Amino acid sequence: MRFPPRITRIGASAAVLSALLVGGTVSATTAHAAVGSICYGDLPTQAYTTLDLIEQGGPFPYSQDGAVFQNREGVLPRQSTGYYHEYTVKTPGSSTRGARRVVTGKQTDEDYYTADHYATFDLIDYDC
């Protein structure tokens, strides 16, 4: 089940509130409007395996796992190079890495899931 885009972190909420209080505008990047949300319980089973491996520090099944994610698509909030890292979520029946990934940020619980090779992202909500 997909949930509508929403602000999920205190830092983003504070930025939005601050902009509104001073009569400014809120950009999509500030509000993370380009990113949806998915409940942890709604992830595919293979994503749990990937998240567990990330928590344990590996070992990972693919040599590309843990590589810096460049965010060339610009869907995730803009950050400095090296902020994001990507990990493969295995796709049953696929002979390749498939299109599913978890992309992590440096902040606590800033994990994103994509099922379509970076076209869209959902911030993983661990509280639902």
Q: In what order do the strands lie in the sheet with 67-69?
A: 36-39, 122-125, 111-114, 101-104, 84-88, 67-69
pLDDT digits 0-9 by tens, 14-26: 333 333 344 444 4
Give catalytic status of residue 86 as yes or no.
Answer: yes
pLDDT in tens, 66-113: 999 999 999 999 999 999 999 999 999 999 999 999 999 987 669 999
Angle at the Cα of 59 (from 98 to 102), degrees rounded to 5?
Answer: 40
* DSSP character at residue 80: -
- pLDDT reported for residue 39: 97
Q: Which amino acid is at 114?
A: T
Residue showing tokens 């990990």: 87
Among candidate residues 32, 85, 110, 117, the one labeled active-site is 117
Model-wide pTM > 0.75: no
| Secondary-structure class of domain 37-125 per CATH | alpha beta
> 71, 79 in Cβ contact below 8 A?
yes
Q: Rounded mean pLDDT of 34-38?
A: 90
Q: What is the pLDDT of residue 107?
A: 73
Known active-site residue 32? no
Per DSSP, the residues of 11-62 read HHHHHHHHHHHTT----HHHHTTT-EEEEGGGS-HHHHHHHHHHHHT---SS
Q: DSSP code of 109?
A: T
Query: How far is the C-alpha of 87 from the C-alpha of 61, rounded, in Å?
Result: 9
pLDDT at 27 over 70: no
pLDDT digits over 46-67, tens only?
999 999 999 999 999 999 999 9
